[in-house]
Amino acid sequence: MSTVTSQILYSADIEAVTKLKNNLKNGRAWVEIDLDRLKENFRKVKEWVGPDKRILVAVKADAYGHSSVAVSKALAVEGVSVLGVASLEEAIEIKRGGAGVPVLILSPSSFIEIPEIVTEGFTSTVSNIEYARRLSGVAGAMDRKMKVHIEVDTGMGRTGVNYSGAADFIQQVCELDSIQVEGIFTHFASAEASDKTFALEQLKRFTQVLEDLRSRSVEIPMVHAANSASLLDLRESHFNMVRPGLVIYGMYPSKWVKRQIDVRPVMTFKARVAHLNSIRRGETVSYGRTYTAPKDSTVAVVSVGYGDGYSRALSNKGEVLIRGKRFNIVGVVCMDLTMVDVTGHPEIRVGDEVVLIGRSGEEEISADELARLSGTITYDVTCSVGPRVPRVFIKQGKAVRVKSLVGVEEL
């Protein structure tokens, strides 16, 4: 019997024991992924953009920490058009997972990956003519025609062909024998900002590229620019396909983005009280002795740390929820454990559920709140949840499947 299990039994917390029996691997820390909320958010986006628009959902970085295979399969049922990833490995994982939806590798691929990309039939992003030529050569040798999307750099300053020469570049790619230019896209640098001036300038540059292509009788089937922020704030950026990520997972890109649709968070991050420690006034807590107890105190040791993706930046300033109440983190967040001050709350016991992201009673801690406290962005908070944290998939309020380091288990 594990230490956490025995502690819960000793606490006589029947509710905690019952929950733990559902999956003993969930005794430490876990995230719950509400697949019904995911689908609901997708439907709301679909309604917002209209039936004539395709939807490409970004499922890179393990679907922002939500588990790419489970998310992809759920969205496939809802009619997602394309799934967007960052690497060949991510594309392979999704294909093997059985989503059955076209996969676009949004980031540049290396030359050595070309044979496998052709074999697997993935769609590449192209912004380098040498890559396009090599892709065409390998595809031709295999008697295949490969779909590609052209990325146009309109001001991101990252990847993509510069907008000033994009039309000439695209025409060259279109002339390659074994290449079909299926899509064209750009990426906004600051669509989530309060000032949309530069986003509108990027949109103007991208639109000019499209007009230049039309003047050359080059028509590209899929045109996309709208990420979550511009999907909500800039309807003129929708074209015939949108490319949301964060909003599908129930979060908003920034406080300046209008809440045009009401989405709900898909992820809840939880842990347990692993130990209760009585410390005297003047004693210190955790590494570096950054917290000194101002009085005799009770400290709950929570079974989560930065090794799980719970940020060390939350040391001495973050909060958690236990039994519907907020409690302050004290001391430095450790790799595997975090301490919180629960002084004056004798009802708290070993085995109690601790909510790190999500709701408990009337209280809620959002990923956005953790991002602000950590000095980062919401994307970083959910993407950081590590692989040793099991993903528990929820349907109709019940856990139906668990994905952990030891495999996938149906419940």
Q: Where is the binding site for substrate, in residues? A: 158, 335
Binding residues, by number, are 158, 335
Taking the C-alpha atoms of residue 234 and residue 361, their distance in angstroms, rounded to an integer, is: 36
Residue 287 a catalytic site member = yes
Helices 68-78 and 35-49: crossing angle in degrees, nearest 10, is: 50
Q: Return left, alpha or beta for 71; rule: phi > 0 is left, psi -120 to 50 is alpha, else beta.
A: alpha
Do residues 86 and 105 touch, judged by C-beta distance below 8 A?
A: yes
Do residues 355 and 320 touch, judged by C-beta distance below 8 A?
A: yes
- Which has the closest alpha carbon to 59: 36, 34, 76? 76
Residue 60 a catalytic site member = yes
- Using CA atoms, how far residue 178 sits from 10, 143, 145, 388, in Å, is 67, 8, 4, 42
Taking the C-alpha atoms of residue 19 and residue 7, their distance in angstroms, rounded to an integer, is: 14
According to DSSP, the residues that pair with 339 across neighbouring strands are 301
Output the six-digit token pair for 209: 């590229």
Taking the C-alpha atoms of residue 257 and residue 259, their distance in angstroms, rounded to an integer, is: 6
Catalytically annotated residue among 19, 44, 60, 95: 60
174-211-193 Cα angle (round to 5): 105
Taking the C-alpha atoms of residue 241 and residue 56, their distance in angstroms, rounded to an integer, is: 7
Catalytically annotated residue among 10, 204, 255, 287: 287
For residue 288, the tally of other CB atoms under 10 A from its CB is: 10
374-67-259 Cα angle (round to 5): 55
Output the six-digit token pair for 3: 């230490």
- Which has the closest alpha carbon to 394: 291, 265, 206? 265
Do residues 319 and 231 touch, judged by C-beta distance below 8 A?
A: no
Each residue of 74-84: b (16+ CB within 10 Å) or e?
bbbebebbbbb
- For the annotated catalytic residues, the residue numbers are 60, 287
